[in-house]
Amino acid sequence: MELVFPKVLNHLLWIRFQGKLKRWFGGFQSPRRRLITLIGTVLGIIWVSQAVIGILFRKAAEHDSMVRLSAVALTLYVFWQVLKTVTRKPFEPHEWTDAEKEILLAAPISPHQLVSFRLTGLAVGTFVKALFVSIILLPDLPIWPIGFIGLFLGLVFIEFFRVCFELIFMGISPRLRWVCRGSAFVMLLGPIAIIWYRTLIVMNSAATQDLPMSILLFKSILVEMNAIVSSKIGVGVLSVMASFSEAIFTQAFSVAGLLNLLKITLITGASGALVYRLDQWSRLRAKQQESLAVRKGSLGSIGAFSHASASMARIRVPLRINGMGAVAWRQLVGAYHYRMTLSISLGIPAVLCWCPLFLDSNPEVTLVSVVGGLLFYSFLLLPSALVLDFRRDIDRFDVLKSLPVATIWLAIGQLATPVILATGFQAGVLFVATVFSSIIWSQAILAGVILVGFNLLIFTGENLIFLLSPYRRNQEGLDVFIRTVLTFTGKGIVFAVAVSALLFWATLSVLIVSSLGLSAGWAVALFCAGLLLMMGTVEALLLVGLVRLFDRFDPSEDCPALN
């Protein structure tokens, strides 16, 4: 009889865990990595301690609102998984790594056992996540062990649901996939549009004009979200995750509570069982689709680009410009291949940045709101969305280092594409905002110029951090935690210093101009000139750092191991 989980897979899970620990300790080998790991660990301990202290000393939130909010959060997490699946290419429901593909899939292990292995891996990862979340929610969980079990089951259910959905998505026809994509976007954008529309109506009403705009906006969004959640549709959508939420916040041992726990255990178990069935079904469907395509003769030659891509290939040899041109062109071709994902990543922040246009404000306030939104999204989102620089070339550092291109030009070439795309996005948002509002053109152009400098700073900084602590995309583990802590702290410090410097320089500009007896316009000019000079200096320093780091980078030693 076939074992559901053979010993060899059990052993593999264990040795992989050991390997991850070993790799983390390996991070302490070189002096540079040792220092970074040490700083990251210390900062991590500080952050975690702070969080623990915050948890222990905080008051418990109101029970009913926690039940409702957690149901909303879990449902949004489900939506996020759906959205991720419908936009991802290629479909990889089980997310096998290359090593797993070559070793495990070729080993005498049945597909059922492989699914068991993958589901166990997911459950183990989720166990750690649930443990962390349950500790953060410690004061809010009336019975911690039940709360933890509820959380664990809830998160495992979402993971199993994701795999099920991905398997279904892989098995259906391409036409149905497009229907799924469309439906997912309608389901996502519909409520957002309704909430925004109703929020803007509230915000434009005379009675609320005296509140600060950010507080008013946040408050109004919460009120409108609550209204939607309380509606019949909202209750229906939340009903599945509401059971998990009720289990998490169970107040006392009761028959009803135990029955609910049993219910969610069964739901989770059923979703796990469904994964096995769907895995079998999707493999069968893939075979059928392939043989159908072969019969129809609709398959093209292996790896042939689409017509649109082929036309890209007809572009003449890119301009060299000290090697920078070719390097930047190569990243632009990459951006072209990810144009859909990029459009979505940039489209949503663009819509959010335009929201202040619907408010009845004066041109300066509208411009500040739009630019503020752009700065916020550019600082938070764009660096992760536009990974078209050193960060995606971890496996090609050999090629980059052997090119006859001076490192400074190579670095500029690598940074050019994300900066160009970010600038294009910001210019587009500002252009639309200026056309459809009373924003003054000269001010919009000046803001655009300053934003270019801002983009340069952001992407150079991101790449500097990357070279200090290189990583692979989709990497997991302790070193990722340390890097995240470092990045988060570093960005926070940079943001605080930048805001302080701006305020200081703004005050100083006014003082200088007034002491000279000049008009207020000169203060603006002085402020902008100083700002650009400051940005230029910092950018130059960052660029020098980036160049030196790349020169010293040793791909044999500094590249992280494959996942």
Partner 1 sequence: MIEINNFSKAYGSTLAVNDLTFAVPSGQILGLIGRNGAGKTTTMRALSGIIPSGAGEFMVDGFSLSDAPLELKRRTAYVADDPRLFSDLSVEQHLKFQASVYGIQKPADEIRKLLELFELESKRHSAASTLSRGMRQKLAICCAYLQAPTALLLDEPMTGLDPHAIRVLKDTIVNRAAQGCAVIISSHLLAMVEDICSQILILDCGERRFWGSNEEFKQRFAQSENNDSNTLEAAFFSSLTELGQDLASTIHGSTGSADRHSQNIDSITQQ
Write out the residues near partner 1 by the rule CB under 8 A.
29-30, 301-305, 309-310, 312-313, 315-320, 323, 325-327, 329-330, 333-334, 337, 395-399, 401-406, 551-552, 554-557
Question: Which H, E and C letters describe 476-532, residue by residue?
Answer: CCHHHHHHHHHHHHHHHHHHHHHHHHHHHHHHHHHHHHHHHCCCHHHHHHHHHHHHH
Q: Nearest approach, Cβ of 111 to partner 1 (angstroms)?
A: 26
Query: b/e map of 29-49 (b: 16 or more CB within 10 Å)?
Result: eeeebeebbeebbebbeeeee
Q: What is the DSSP string of 272-291?
A: HHHHHHHHHHHHHHHHHHHH
Q: Nearest approach, Cβ of 465 to partner 1 (angstroms)?
A: 21
Alpha-carbon gap, residue 331 to 380, rounded angstroms? 21
Q: Which is nearer to partner 1, 323 or 530 (CB)?
A: 323
Alpha-carbon gap, residue 518 to 525, rounded angstroms? 11
Q: Nearest approach, Cβ of 330 to partner 1 (angstroms)?
A: 6
Q: Nearest approach, Cβ of 392 to partner 1 (angstroms)?
A: 9
- Which single residue is written with the structure tokens 């000139």? 529
Alpha-carbon gap, residue 42 to 399, rounded angstroms? 36
Q: Nearest approach, Cβ of 331 to partner 1 (angstroms)?
A: 8
Asked whether 159 and 146 are in contact (CB, 8 A), the reply is no
Q: Which is nearer to partner 1, 106 or 317 (CB)?
A: 317
Cβ neighbours of 288 (radius 10 Å): 11
The four Cα atoms 374, 377, 383, 385 give a dihedral, to 10 degrees, of -110
Q: Which is nearer to partner 1, 325 or 363 (CB)?
A: 325
Q: Which is nearer to partner 1, 185 or 338 (CB)?
A: 338
Q: Which is nearer to partner 1, 45 or 310 (CB)?
A: 310
Q: Which is nearer to partner 1, 236 or 303 (CB)?
A: 303
Q: Which is nearer to partner 1, 69 or 333 (CB)?
A: 333
Q: What are the angstrom distances between the C-alpha of 59 and each of 62, 241, 476, 513?
A: 9, 25, 33, 50
Q: Nearest approach, Cβ of 89 to partner 1 (angstroms)?
A: 12
Q: Nearest approach, Cβ of 318 to partner 1 (angstroms)?
A: 5
Q: Which is nearer to partner 1, 132 or 305 (CB)?
A: 305
- Which single residue is written with the structure tokens 């948002």? 429
Is residue 9 helix, strand or coil? helix
Q: Nearest approach, Cβ of 543 to partner 1 (angstroms)?
A: 18
